[in-house]
Amino acid sequence: RKLFASEVNFVKGVVNMKGLPPADRPEIAFAGRSNVGKSSLINALFNRKQLARASGQPGRTQEINFFSILEDLFVVDLPGYGYAVAPKAVVDKWTAFTQTYLRGRTNLQRVFLLIDSRRGVTDVDKGIMKTLDRAAMNYQIVLTKADKLKKSELDDVMEGAVQAIKKHPAAHPRIMMTSSEKGMGLPELKAEIVALI
Ligand code: GTP
Ligand code: MG
């Protein structure tokens, strides 16, 4: 069946563990700083313009959004982190729920941890990587917005990411480089997803 072409549906936005859909199929999740391009990447991968809200406003996605691909896969758009303007209590609540989700979700196959190519791996990303290591959750770095940089700059960013994952046992050794806007790296990322299910 065609995973990336048909019947992609929004399931629900979830704000606590009770709201999670049944863990009855493989699941992948997209994590990263606010504005890193999570929603855009999900839209580009699954060929849907309006599937996941994408906006220039950081912190817009405030819940864990579930999408289903046929009956074969759940795709999860996690709330962005590192958005300082949201009230601290709200940020802490997102973080607590997201961490509980990451630790407890039995059908979650891999987290794709998105890193903005222009920023590289920041301290807040490294904190999230530690959380994922502690949860023994497999994760894979996906560099985003590669269309914004020159080839030589991309090489530096890739090298920085290679160095950054060295101390992180749960990180996948292969780092992906993508542009949702230009379609770069999307076939490779799709192949990673297909291999998980
Ligand atoms: P939150 O939901 O707030 O956490 O953000 P997000 O990670 O879902 O980011 P979103 O997909 O909303 O994208 C944020 C901004 O980056 C938007 O203005 C997008 O148009 C832009 N953007 C996303 N992907 C790309 C890309 O591949 N290239 C370029 N040039 N811009 C991109
Ligand atoms: Mg979003």
| Per-residue pLDDT reduced to its tens digit, 126-137 | 888 988 898 889
> pLDDT tens-digit profile of 43-55?
899 877 655 555 4
Cα 49 to averaged position of ligand 2 atoms, centre (Å): 13
CB 121 within 8 A of CB 175: no
pTM over cut 0.80: yes
Q: Encoding tokens for residue 191?
A: 């192949």
Contact (CB, 8 A) for 38 and 53: no
For residue 93, what pLDDT is reported? 59
Ligand 1 atom closest to the CA of 148, numbered from 1? 30
User: Measured between alpha carbons, how far is residue 23 from residues 5, 76, 181 in Å?
Assistant: 23, 12, 32
Tell me what pLDDT residue 113 has: 97
Place of tokens 């999860």: 76
Mutation pick for ligand 1 pocket among 30, 33, 34, 35 (CB with most ligand atoms within 8 Å): 35
Tokens of 157: 């960013």
Contact 72, 3 (CB under 8 A): yes
Give the burial string for 45-56 (b: 16+ CB within 10 Å, else e). bbeeeebbebee
Residue 50 CA, ligand 2 centroid: distance in Å: 11
Please tell me the predicted confidence (pLDDT) of residue 170.
Answer: 92
The CATH superfamily assigned to 8-196 is: P-loop containing nucleotide triphosphate hydrolases (3.40.50.300)
**125 exposure class (CB count in 10 Å sphere: 0-12, 13-18, 19+):** buried
| DSSP 8-state class, residue 191 | H
Distance from residue 54's CA to the centre of ligand 1 (Å)? 6
Lining residues, ligand 1, CB within 6 Å: 32, 34-40, 54-56, 58-61, 80, 144-145, 147-148, 179-181
Q: Could you tell me the end-to-end alpha-carbon distance of the chain, in angstroms, rounded to an integer?
A: 12
Per-residue pLDDT reduced to its tens digit, 148-193: 999 999 999 999 999 999 989 899 999 999 999 999 999 999 999 9
Residue 36 CA to ligand 2 center (angstroms) comes to 8
What confidence tier does 145 reach under pLDDT thresholds 50, 70, 90?
very high
What is the reported pLDDT for 31? 94
Q: Which two tokens stand for residue 42?
A: 């999900």
pLDDT digits (tens, 9 = 90+) for 64-122: 899 998 889 999 999 888 765 566 666 665 578 888 898 889 999 999 999 999 999 99
Pocket test for ligand 1, best of 41, 55, 85, 124 (most atoms within 8 A of CB): 55
Q: Where are the domains of the chain?
A: 8-196
